[in-house]
A and B are shown apart, each in its own frame.
Chain A
Amino acid sequence: MLSIKNLHAEIDGKEILKGINLEIKAGEIHAIMGPNGSGKSTLASVLTGRDLFTVTEGKVVFKGRDLLEMAPEDRAREGVFLSFQYPIEIPGVSMVNFMKTAVNEQRKYKGEKPLSSAEFLKFMREKKEMVEIDTQLTNRSVNEGFSGGEKKKNEIFQMAMLQPDFAILDETDSGLDIDALRIVANGVNKLKTPNNCALVITHYQRLLDYIVPDIVHILYDGKIVKSAGKDLALELEEKGYEWIKNELAK
């Protein structure tokens, strides 16, 4: 479904991604772990089309199409979704209006009729229940005054609304209390089908107890230096990144 080949990207002339290779098939969940500053969020930004970063080399094919050629909104309409590490607050833009516009633009792109207000509200209610998000939150401006955990829940709520084919979860677990972590992980699992895939970025093995990955990758200094089954996360938690450094030095 997603194929990344030799992806290089830089910001202000500084190379951050130094040749990423990654294949994600439909139905798979991949996890990426790696030290702070290794380029995990940069990869997420590049895949979703943030123009701060310049791709200098490499190719990304998503559902048979060149992803890097597409505008951010078209990537989203094609089914790419990012749960942001730091969701931004947008005062004055209501959650309802935001989601309604997003859902209907996606439908238009797919040649479907826009949802009426009543249909939309019903659809939204269902999804809210699924991620157990407080009704009041959707009556407010996008993320405005939301707590850290509420912001993360709101990301998963949006994911439920947009039903992506490829979801990137960038540290969705950080800032969540134990109950919220379980709710969010359950939400993600419910959204999982054999036809979609996900890339889960995390620092903690704990999340991967809930969202069980098929493959775990370690991103280090802009490159994937190790990929293995889910036990790699456990091993990493036990041994720390020093272990990887030493392995690499060998």
Chain B
Amino acid sequence: MNLEEKLYNIYADNKDKLNMDIPDFIREYADIAANSIIKNGIPDKSYENYKYSDFSGFLNNGLEYSLEPEKTNIDLNEYWQCQVPDMDTQVILLSNAWYYEKNNLENKFPKGVIVCGLREAFVKYPEIVKKHYSKYLPQNKDGYIDLNTAIARDGVFIYVPKGVKIDKTIQLVNLIHGFANRAVMQRNLVVLEEDASLRMIICDHTLNRTQNFINSLTESYIGKNAHLEYYSIQNEPDTAALLNTLCFYQEANSHLTNLAFSLHGGSLRNNVYSTLAGERAHSNLYGLFLSDKKQRVDNYTYIDHKAPTCTSNELYKGILDDNARGAFSGKIMVRPDAQKTEAYQTNNNLCLTDTAKMRTKPQLEIYADDVKCSHGATVGQLDQEALFYLQSRGISKKEAKLMLMFAFANDIVRNIPVIPLKEQISGLVDNRLRGEFTECKHCLLNCSRNR
């Protein structure tokens, strides 16, 4: 039996359990996706877009699939103490991607706002879900997305009605625990109606040193003139693989800032699809990845300019040490109607050793004539002259290197508009570059200590 058949069977054998109490349209999506796994395959290195990431090793590794809500005896709320100082945040917990039953969000948000588990939303808000679920997935088939659609049944659902601005920052924390190697499928749906605004942070925390495979997919609809700020903070053990796909759909005048911080992890893959569907929509895509030892990190972005006068600005930066492998592949598509598009893409990388390798592939595909687009990529080493300049003032070589790396990384960090959050993330990046534990000061989980 090949991998695709194995995965198909996980769906087929557990269909009753998976599809219990959910609306028909979700079942239909799941059926189609499961069949597509067989038809289109699970990408490995032979797929152009997955040349540098291969999770089949993880998937063939006797993973335990989490196929129904997991009851936990421990009170995760007690366990979890994360907070960004001086920032009004609301933590929402997921337990192996299942919405944690003891999240207590009553009266925490303005009227009309819905925040609940996706599974709950399937039943309680089927009209909203139906309008958006699986509607913003890429046209090109991706077996990991199919896998998610086939068997992911929970995650968070957020609905922000017209004109509502949520001041609190929503922090979604997915705690991954258990003793077996887990396959965790997370599915989120975030809907912002016209003029709505939301800032959210997604963190994944693995509590055990198991060989987990996390396949997370978020779809987000950003209505007219709505604002979304979306952060992913990835801090996984060397044994874990995390695949994170974000699909954004933007209406006219909407504004998206997506910031991805890949701080640590055995194998990380970030897919970002952003569709600019309404005029004057703006997308900022930022990514910082720090990778060492034998870690892998792969970034794939696809910005689809469908409407005229939209702008996009993309900057990804990576620092690779030891034997790390990094990749960036970014496509900007400008459709024939998308006149007066402005799209800029840059990817800069530092390889600190001869054995660290980075592949970068920026791509522009332009079908409109009146556009301003640019792309560029660099792979280099620390500037030896700058290093010497700092040393010549009495700064140790180690500190001088850190200063230069930090300056390099700060091009991403400084785009965080909220100061307390910027300081928090800046601290995490600094610790990471210093080879110290990358955990927030207040975190009691100590998960980065069991690496």
Chain A residues close to B by CB (< 8 Å) = 48-50, 71-73, 75-77, 81-82, 84, 87-88, 90-93, 97-99, 101-102, 105-106, 109, 141-142, 158, 162
Once the chains are docked, how many angstroms separate the CA of A92 from the CA of B399? 15
Q: Using A72-B391, A76-B392, A84-B389 as known contacts, say yes or no to A101 and B403 having CB atoms under 8 A apart.
A: yes
Interface residue stretch chosen among B296-304, B357-365, B405-413, B415-423: B405-413
Given contacts A73-B392, A81-B392, A88-B385, 9 further A-B contacts (CB under 8 A): A49-B391, A71-B391, A72-B392, A76-B391, A76-B392, A87-B389, A88-B383, A93-B403, A93-B407
Contact of B395 among A81, A82, A91, A101 (CB under 8 A): A101
Once the chains are docked, how many angstroms separate the CA of A158 from the CA of B399? 18
Once the chains are docked, how many angstroms separate the CA of A46 from the CA of B289? 37
A93:B388 contact, CB within 8 angstroms: no
- Chain A residues near B105: list those with CB within 8 A: none
Q: Using A87-B389, A88-B389, A106-B394 as known contacts, say yes or no to A93 and B399 having CB atoms under 8 A apart.
A: no
A101:B392 contact, CB within 8 angstroms: no
Q: Using A97-B403, A98-B403 as known contacts, say yes or no to A90 and B386 having CB atoms under 8 A apart.
A: yes
Once the chains are docked, how many angstroms separate the CA of A88 from the CA of B390? 10
Once the chains are docked, how many angstroms separate the CA of A71 from the CA of B396? 9
Q: For chain B, what secondary structure do more than half of its interface residues adopt (helix, strand, loop), or is it mixed?
A: helix
Which residues 19-45 of B have a CB within 8 angstroms of A? none
A158:B393 contact, CB within 8 angstroms: yes
Once the chains are docked, how many angstroms separate the CA of A158 from the CA of B395? 13
B407:A91 contact, CB within 8 angstroms: yes
Interface string of B364-407 (1 = CB under 8 A from A): 00000000000000000001011011111111110110011011
Contact of B390 among A48, A90, A91 (CB under 8 A): A90
Contact of A105 among B383, B388, B395 (CB under 8 A): B395
B391:A73 contact, CB within 8 angstroms: yes
Once the chains are docked, how many angstroms separate the CA of A105 from the CA of B123? 62
- Chain B residues near A75: list those with CB within 8 A: 392
Task: Closest B residue to A142 by CB, please name it.
Answer: B389
**Whole-angstrom distance between the Cβ of B422 and the nearest chain A Cβ:** 15
10 residue pairs, one from A and one from B, having the closest CB atoms: A92-B407, A76-B394, A102-B393, A72-B391, A106-B394, A77-B394, A73-B391, A93-B407, A90-B386, A105-B394
- Chain B residues near A97: list those with CB within 8 A: 403
How big is the B interface, by class? 20 to 34
Once the chains are docked, how many angstroms separate the CA of A73 from the CA of B401? 13
Q: Using A71-B391, A105-B396 as known contacts, say yes or no to A92 and B386 having CB atoms under 8 A apart.
A: no
Once the chains are docked, how many angstroms separate the CA of A101 from the CA of B383? 19
Once the chains are docked, how many angstroms separate the CA of A91 from the CA of B348? 14
**Whole-angstrom distance between the Cβ of A63 and the nearest chain B Cβ:** 15
In this complex, which of A50, A72, A102 has the most chain B Cβ atoms within 10 angstroms of its Cβ? A72
Task: Closest A residue to B405 by CB, please name it.
Answer: A92
A-B contact pairs, 19 of them (CB 8 A): A50-B388, A73-B391, A73-B396, A75-B392, A76-B391, A77-B394, A82-B392, A84-B392, A92-B408, A93-B390, A93-B403, A93-B404, A93-B407, A97-B403, A99-B393, A101-B399, A141-B407, A158-B393, A162-B393
B395:A92 contact, CB within 8 angstroms: no
A98:B393 contact, CB within 8 angstroms: yes
**Whole-angstrom distance between the Cβ of B230 and the nearest chain A Cβ:** 25
Task: Closest A residue to B394 by CB, please name it.
Answer: A76
- Chain B residues near A158: list those with CB within 8 A: 393
**Whole-angstrom distance between the Cβ of B397 and the nearest chain A Cβ:** 7
Once the chains are docked, how many angstroms separate the CA of A88 from the CA of B388? 10
Once the chains are docked, how many angstroms separate the CA of A106 from the CA of B395? 8
B389:A109 contact, CB within 8 angstroms: no
A73:B394 contact, CB within 8 angstroms: yes
Once the chains are docked, how many angstroms separate the CA of A88 from the CA of B406? 18
Once the chains are docked, how many angstroms separate the CA of A1 from the CA of B11? 80
- Chain B residues near A71: list those with CB within 8 A: 391, 397
Once the chains are docked, how many angstroms separate the CA of A77 from the CA of B397? 13
- Chain B residues near A49: list those with CB within 8 A: 391-392
B395:A90 contact, CB within 8 angstroms: no
Once the chains are docked, how many angstroms separate the CA of A99 from the CA of B395? 9
- Chain A residues near B406: list those with CB within 8 A: 92
Task: Closest A residue to B408 by CB, please name it.
Answer: A92
- Chain A residues near B394: list those with CB within 8 A: 73, 76-77, 102, 105-106, 109, 162
- Chain B residues near A141: list those with CB within 8 A: 407
**Whole-angstrom distance between the Cβ of A76 and the nearest chain B Cβ:** 4
**Whole-angstrom distance between the Cβ of A198 and the nearest chain B Cβ:** 16
Task: Closest B residue to A143 by CB, please name it.
Answer: B389
Once the chains are docked, how many angstroms separate the CA of A81 from the CA of B389? 11
- Chain B residues near A81: list those with CB within 8 A: 392
Once the chains are docked, how many angstroms separate the CA of A82 from the CA of B386? 14
In this complex, which of B394, B395, B397, B399 has the most chain A Cβ atoms within 10 angstroms of its Cβ? B394
Once the chains are docked, how many angstroms separate the CA of A76 from the CA of B406? 23
Once the chains are docked, how many angstroms separate the CA of A109 from the CA of B396? 11
B404:A90 contact, CB within 8 angstroms: yes
Once the chains are docked, how many angstroms separate the CA of A75 from the CA of B388? 12
Which residues 296-355 of B have a CB within 8 angstroms of A? none
Q: Using A88-B385, A88-B386 as known contacts, say yes or no to A73 and B407 having CB atoms under 8 A apart.
A: no
Once the chains are docked, how many angstroms separate the CA of A50 from the CA of B392? 9
**Whole-angstrom distance between the Cβ of B101 and the nearest chain A Cβ:** 46
- Chain B residues near A82: list those with CB within 8 A: 392
Once the chains are docked, how many angstroms separate the CA of A97 from the CA of B426? 15
B407:A90 contact, CB within 8 angstroms: yes
Once the chains are docked, how many angstroms separate the CA of A143 from the CA of B399? 19
B393:A76 contact, CB within 8 angstroms: yes
**Whole-angstrom distance between the Cβ of A188 and the nearest chain B Cβ:** 17
Task: Closest B residue to A94 by CB, please name it.
Answer: B407
